[in-house]
Chains A and B, each alone.
Chain A
C-alpha cells in the first residue's frame, strides 16, 4: 500500500508547527496505525531526519496514551477503538492521511503529535477518588451490597481511559464526558456518596480552570469515545452538580 501522510511537525511547545508531507510505501493492511508510523520513523532515522514524536504505550487499547486526530477524527475513522487498535486495512492504496495532535488549548503540543494531557490528571486529583483508611482496618468493598444496575453503570463509567478523544472530537473542546465519567463512577457507589458533593464541585471547578469549552450536547464525544462512555454520565454530573449546589 502506498500512502501520502500529511503530518503535523512542531519542534517544541513554543515553536510554530506546520504540516509536512511524507510519501510512504510497503504498508500492509495488517499493520496497526502506530506500526505504520514506526515504519515511517525508521525511514526518517535512516535518512538522518528527526522521527515523528507521538504518544503510545500499551498498544492494546488500555492505557489511553495514543492520541492522534486522523483524517479529522480522533483515533481515526473506526469506532470504539484507540489509534493503536486502528488497522491499515481501513485505508486504501493511494490514500492521503492527515495526522494531527488532539487540539485543545488545555492540551498544549509538547512536540509533533505529542500533547500534554496533565489537565485531566489535575481534574482527577481534584476529587476523582474516595478517601479510604488504608491503615489495615479497611472495610472489604464487597461487604457493602450494591445494586447490580448501579454497579454496572459505575463500571461502564470507570472504563474511561482518559485518552482525550472526547475533547478532541468536541467542537468546543469540552471535557464534560471525561469529567462526568470520573464523577459517575464514584457517584453510583455507596463508597463514593460520602464525598459526592465536594467531588463534583471540585472536579467541575478544576475542569473550568483548565480552559476546556462548554458542552453543547452535540454528542460527538460519545461517538468518538473508544470505550463508548455515554452522554448519560454528563446528565448525571449535571444532576449531581445542581444537587450539590443546593446543599451549599
Chain B
C-alpha cells in the first residue's frame, strides 16, 4: 500500500474523489441558498439546523473542510511536480491546438476559487464561529436571512462573488467529467457524463450568481 499512496495514480484518485465530494456539497449548498430567495423562513430553518446540529457541525463540517484542504493541497503539490517534469520550457507551445483552455488552466481557476473561499470563510464561517463560541450569543433561528442579504449589500463583494462563480464554472467544466476518467470510467456512458458535467457547470454557478445579484438588488430596508 505504501507504493500505492505515493503513486501518481493514487494522487489523481485523491483529487478525483475529493473533487466529486465537493461537487456533491455544491449541489446541497446551492439548494439551501436558493431558498433564501424563495422563502426566508425556510432558509432560516435550514441554516439554523446546519449551524446547530451536532452531526453537521462536528462530523460533516470537519469532513468538508478536510475535503477542501486535501483537494487544494494535492492540486498544488501536483502542479509543482508537473512543472518539474518539464525543466526546459518550449520556445513555442501551442497548447490550444490540442486541449481546451479550461483543462490546461485548472490551477488558475482553482486558485481563484481558493482565494474566494478565503473571503467566503471570513464572511460566513468565521462570523458564525465568533457569534456562537467567542461572543457566546444565544440561539436566534431568525437571524440568518438578514445576515446573508446584508453581506451582498457592498457592490465590490457581489462582483467578487460573481467573478469567482464564473471561474468555478470553468473549473467544474473540466474537473467533474475528468474525475470519472481518473476513476477508470471511460465507456458508453462517458458522453452522458460529459453532457451532465456541462449542465452542472453552468446551472450550479448560475444559481449562486443569481442569489448574489438578487440579494444585492433587493437589500433589506431598515425602517
Residue positions of A touching B, CB distance < 8 A: 6, 8, 19, 69, 71-73, 77, 98, 100, 103-106, 109, 169, 171-174, 176, 201, 204-205, 207-208, 211-220, 223-224, 231-232, 234-239, 241-242, 245
Contact = CB atoms under 8 A, between A and B. Distances in A.
A50 to B, nearest CB: 20
Contacts of A214: 8, 11-12, 78, 81-82, 85
A172 B99 contact: no
Contacts of A213: 81-82, 84-86
B1 A72 contact: no
A226 to B, nearest CB: 13
A240 B3 CA distance: 15
A94 B82 CA distance: 36
B143 interface: no
B95 interface: yes
Interface in B81-135: 81-82, 84-95, 97-100, 103-104, 106
A172 B12 CA distance: 13
A103 B182 contact: no
B186 A232 contact: yes
Interface residues on B, range: 35 or more
Nearest to B1: A245
Contact of B95 (A69, A176, A220): A220
B85 A205 contact: no
B101 to A, nearest CB: 10
A98 B92 contact: yes
B184 A217 contact: no
B99 A171 contact: yes
A204 to B, nearest CB: 6
Residues of A contacting B: mostly: mixed
Contact of B8 (A71, A201, A208): A208
A224 B98 contact: yes
B90 A104 contact: no
A167 to B, nearest CB: 9
A-B pairs, 7 with minimum CB distance: A213-B85, A72-B94, A239-B184, A235-B186, A172-B82, A223-B98, A218-B99
Given A215-B12, A217-B103, A106 B185 contact: no
Given A103-B89, A208-B8, A220 B99 contact: yes
Contacts of A169: 98
Nearest to B182: A238
B104 to A, nearest CB: 5
B13 interface: yes
- In this complex, the member of A77, A237, A242 whose beta carbon has the largest number of chain B beta carbons within 10 angstroms is A242
A82 to B, nearest CB: 16
A239 to B, nearest CB: 3
B9 A204 contact: yes
B183 interface: yes
A150 to B, nearest CB: 14
A6 B91 CA distance: 10
B95 A234 contact: no
A211 B85 contact: yes
Contacts of B174: 217
Contact of B99 (A103, A211, A212, A223): A223
A173 B98 contact: no
5 contacts: A72-B92, A72-B93, A238-B182, A238-B183, A245-B1
